[in-house]
Amino acid sequence: MNSKRILLSPPHMGGTEPTYIAQAFQDNWIAPTGPHIDLFENRLVDFLDEKSQVVALNSGTAAIHLGLQLLGVQKGDVVLCQSLTFIASVNPVLYLGATPVLIGSEKETWNLCPIALEEAILNQLNKGIQPKAIVVVHLYGMPAKMNEISAISKKYNIPILEDAAEALGSSYYNQPCGTFGDFGVLSFNGNKIITTSGGGGLICQSETAKEKAIFLATQAKEDAIHYEHKHIGYNYRMSNISASIGLGQLEVLSKHIQLRRQNHAFYQQLFDTLSEVTLHQESNENFISNHWLNVIQLASFEQREALRLHLENNNIESRPVWKPMHLQPLFQDNLYFGDDLETELFNIGLCLPSGSSLSAEDLNRIKTALELFFNKL
């Protein structure tokens, strides 16, 4: 076995992060407040959309929680959630005492299916229930069909929380993912396209919404000389040190996106002649993915597992597609609307190494391992 393990998506430092960290130490801003937080937020706005506002938080999960709370989600409400996702997209619904209704995916993007979404809405309305929010995810960096989903949102007056945790740098009809919904969510976890070691961001559509989010993220302290509290708050603000890492990462974000897209081109060329493998990719030029992770579909579950184990034997990490929420024991009693495409994707889908730090040697090892596997079939 090769000594160096090739990971799916490890952190990739740009080089200037220690300079920003040293500045924070020199100025003694070792706290969940400080100038680097403000600067990080402003530079994210510059990258995304100058019409938006960003609140830097300590996780993407915290951002989803705050976003749902700011949309008024509370105990007893129904929230319509994409089933094919990481569980952090759905858990905050439970934090608020609300009920997730799970929605299946469509074949082109693997994201929220507009047809299934409308079916779920009509089902709830027929029961006298007005869903409180829609949680849509841009899975693996692939933009969801936001035109159709936004039209349904407006038709039934249900706000959107857009989980773009995996999609920083992706766009749909030239608009950045994360800026379509009433709120958007980013993640800066260690495996994301840029990292603050752990962290997230809430994209808001107004300065007022940003101020409310910061208020809740800093323990909901009222404007008084003592600690006065009228609302439940949280310790969700990003630290100045984490923001320092983020500032260095933002300097290489465009480069990291380019490198991930180059990795996708590498897999396109590799799988072009293999009829039994389908590489997940954009359906047309209006969908621009950052290709955070490259994902393939195999012919069967058995073939997927054989390939996963083959790569593991070569010290190359791979991972099945997210297990859908409607198959998770935690949500076994929740309503689901869809054609169960997600189960098939879970059974035959495999995520391959896609990090921006992959070297030519790494790519060659991946190529050799994959060719060896498929040549034996």
The full set of domain ranges for the chain reads 17-250, 253-375
Q: Name the amino acid, one letter, at 190.
A: G
| Cβ-contact 103, 116 below 8 angstroms | yes
Average pLDDT taken over every residue of the chain: 96
Residue 2, pLDDT score: 54
Which pLDDT value is given to residue 344? 97
Beta-sheet pairing, 336-337 with 99-103: parallel
> Closest Cα partner for 207 from 47, 37, 63, 45?
45
pLDDT for 1? 57
Q: Residue for token digits 């998506």?
A: 9
CB 70 within 8 A of CB 245: no
pLDDT digits (tens, 9 = 90+) for 146-183: 999 999 999 999 999 999 999 999 999 999 999 999 99
Tell me what pLDDT residue 241 has: 98
Q: With bands split at pLDDT 50, 70 and 90, how would you rate the model's confidence at 276?
A: confident
Model confidence pLDDT, tens digit, residues 117-127: 999 999 999 99
Q: CATH classification of 253-375 is 3.40.50.300, yes or no?
A: no
List % helix, strand, coil for the chain (3-state, nearest 5): 40, 15, 40
If one looks up domain 17-250 in CATH, what number appears? 3.40.640.10
- The pLDDT value recorded for residue 273 is 82
Give whole-number Cα distances, 188 to 101, 109, 112, 302, in Å.
Answer: 27, 23, 23, 34
Task: Give pLDDT, residue 312.
Answer: 97
Alpha-carbon distance of 257 to 192, in angstroms, equals 11
Mean pLDDT of 251-278: 95
pLDDT: is 370 or 1 the higher one?
Answer: 370
Task: List, for residues 321-368, the tens digit of each pLDDT value.
Answer: 999 999 999 999 999 999 999 999 999 999 999 999 999 999 999 999
Q: What is the pLDDT of residue 128?
A: 98
